[in-house]
Amino acid sequence: MSTIRVRAQEADGMVTVRALITHPMETGTRKDSAGELIAPHHIQVVNAEVGDTEVMTAYWNTTISRNPFFQFQFAGNKGDTLKLSWSDNKGESDSTDVTIG
């Protein structure tokens, strides 16, 4: 099951991307019920590509909330395929492809 839900819609040559990523985004400063620090676990890089062209890269840290929602725009075309991917500080990653509508 993908951790990414994404929708990409084109209007007048601009593509609006709305995405939701399921991720704990732990800061490393919270404590569990035993009083022990919960290890940091957060997304570091989010990348969006259309074909061989990178259209967005975001560098995140512990200030981003759990299960982040984000939106961005770029000049693009209906019918193209957008690949959205992320990687985190524990080496985990995910990606998904969506056709721009």
Read off the pTM.
0.92
Q: Are 74 and 55 in contact (CB under 8 A)?
A: yes
Q: What is the largest CA-CA distance in the chain?
A: 55
Q: What is the chain's pLDDT, residue by residue, as a tens digit (101 residues)?
A: 689 999 999 999 999 999 999 999 999 999 999 999 999 999 999 999 999 999 999 999 999 999 999 999 999 999 999 999 999 999 999 999 999 99
**Environment class of 69 (CB within 10 Å of its CB; exposed 0-12, middle 13-18, buried 19+):** exposed
Find, among 75, 78, 60, 48, the residue nearest to 23 by Cα: 60
CB 100 within 8 A of CB 82: yes
- Domain ranges in the chain are 4-27+37-99
Question: pLDDT value at position 2?
Answer: 82
Question: Residue 1: its pLDDT value, please?
Answer: 67
Task: State the fold for domain 4-27+37-99.
Answer: Immunoglobulin-like (2.60.40)
Read off the tokens for 30: 């919270």
